[in-house]
Amino acid sequence: MISKDFLKAGHPPTLLSAFLYFDMSFMVWVLLGALGVQIAADLGLSPAQKGLMVAVPILTGAVLRMVAGVLVDRIGPKTTGAIGQAIVISGLILAFLVKIDSFAGILALGGVLGVAGASFAVALPLASRWYPPQYQGVALGIAGAGNSGTVFASLFAPSLAKAFGWSTVFGIAAVPLIAAFAFYLLFAKDAPNPPAPKRFDQYLAILKQSDAWWFLLFYGVSFGGFVGLSSSLNIYFNTEYGLEPVTAGFFTAACVFAGSMLRPVGGGMADKIGGIRTLSIMYVVAAFALVIISFKLPTAITSLLFFIIGMGALGMANGAVFQLVPQRFRSEIGVMTGLVGMFGGIGGFYLATSLGLSKQALGTYQPGLIGFACLALIAFGGLTLIKRRWRTTWGGALKDVRI
């Protein structure tokens, strides 16, 4: 998948910088979810409040992705990323020093951590602009695999909170972010000949194209499912199966690892057999897994296996979407990454809040899980409707690229 020609075609130090920046940002973006069981126990939160706590960073990150996408086109991805990292590091250090002890304070911190979620709209254009069309799936799959940072949050945050208290975890988390920031400043480089900045009305003009809305739906489902589950599974395994926070974190980490590591595989598969075909398969697999899980399987291990299948499918779908986006909107990659990423975050916000609300109102997570499975099937139906047009219009004009 990673050939000598691929390594020669782009700028590996920037690709690695984009990955590390994305990785550490995603680690803290879902940090409240990883600490959710312990924070909720200390603050006495209801199921709906738990859902809101983990959803606020997702929603804030979604909105800020559009802002970041505009800044990428106007001041460049490297500068935009540097500003975002400085804000998140400062917020974590402040949260550690003041020792948050209220639900309102946690929500405020969630808003700051949303800036980390906006890294998506920076890291992907930073990497994408260095690589030709035939390597977009692999390049963006590697950069996008930075969402594996969510694994670190699930693996280490509950254990650290048990040993030192969850407030202290915010200060500890700032340390690797500072290291990644230093690497980024030293080695990341903006690609030569970037697209010319657009007027602000031109950014919204892209929404007049129906293809843009299809991509918003597709990523809203694939990434929304991934990040919504990443933020919610600690609480889910604790609530449904009585797992201790540390054990629930290990289970969550296994699911997130599957989704993260398979993202570049999805991008590579899309390069080989086409993004449309890859997406179609993955939406059906994800919907099937979520419906099965919704019936509350008899053991936590069985549930874990189906979550791994579902998260793996969603991760591969993420890679496939971003094999397609640069082919269709190469000159608008910055703003499209922001828009698509924003809807991905909105999908995650919807899933996280719907799980919390359905648990509080009905005593079960089933409505939230089945509702999202239906969205995956709607996305599959949309692909079926537009695949012929895409392949015979802009897809047909591409050389050596399968869509």
Mean of per-residue pLDDT scores for the chain:
91
Cβ atoms within 10 Å of 108's Cβ, excluding its own: 15
For residue 5, tell me if it sits in a domain.
no
pLDDT higher than 80, residue 4: no
**Of all residues in the chain, what percent carry a pLDDT higher than 70?**
97
pTM of the model: 0.88
Better pLDDT: 87 or 139: 87
**Of all residues in the chain, what percent carry a pLDDT higher than 90?**
70
pLDDT higher than 90, residue 102: yes
For residue 2, tell me if it sits in a domain.
no
pLDDT higher than 60, residue 1: no
For residue 80, tell me if it sits in a domain.
yes
pLDDT average, residue stretch 187-191: 92
Q: What is the pLDDT of residues 317-373, one digit of tens each?
A: 998 998 898 888 877 776 787 788 889 999 999 999 999 999 999 999 999 999 999
Q: Where are the alpha helices (DSSP H) in 31-148?
A: 31-34, 36-43, 47-75, 77-98, 103-117, 120-128, 136-144
Q: Which of 166-175, 262-271, 310-319, 345-354 shows the lowest per-residue confidence on average (mean pLDDT)? A: 262-271
Q: Are 252 and 230 in contact (CB under 8 A)?
A: yes
Containing structural domain, residue 369: 12-190+203-392
- The residues, ordered by sequence, that sit 6+ positions from 205 with a Cβ below 8 Å of its Cβ are none
For residue 65, tell me if it sits in a domain.
yes
Instruction: Please tell me the distance from the alpha carbon of residue 205 to that of residue 62, in angstroms, as a whole number.
Output: 20
Question: Exposed (0-12), middle (13-18) or buried (19+): which is 392, by Cβ within 10 Å?
Answer: exposed
Q: Are 330 and 251 in contact (CB under 8 A)?
A: no
> For the CA atoms of 360, 361, 364, 370, what is the dihedral angle to 10 degrees?
-120
pLDDT classification of 243: cutoffs 50, 70, 90: very high
For residue 198, tell me if it sits in a domain.
no
Q: What is the count of structural domains for the chain?
A: 1
pLDDT higher than 60, residue 291: yes
Q: What is the pLDDT of residues 369-395, one digit of tens each?
A: 999 999 999 999 999 999 999 988 887
For residue 242, tell me if it sits in a domain.
yes
- Residue 347, domain CATH: 1.20.1250.20
Instruction: Please tell me the distance from the alpha carbon of residue 282 to that of residue 179, in angstroms, as a whole number.
Output: 35
Q: What is the pLDDT of residues 219-234, one digit of tens each?
A: 999 999 999 999 999 9
For residue 30, tell me if it sits in a domain.
yes
For residue 402, tell me if it sits in a domain.
no
Q: If you count them, how many residues does the chain have?
A: 403
CA 372 to chain centre: 16
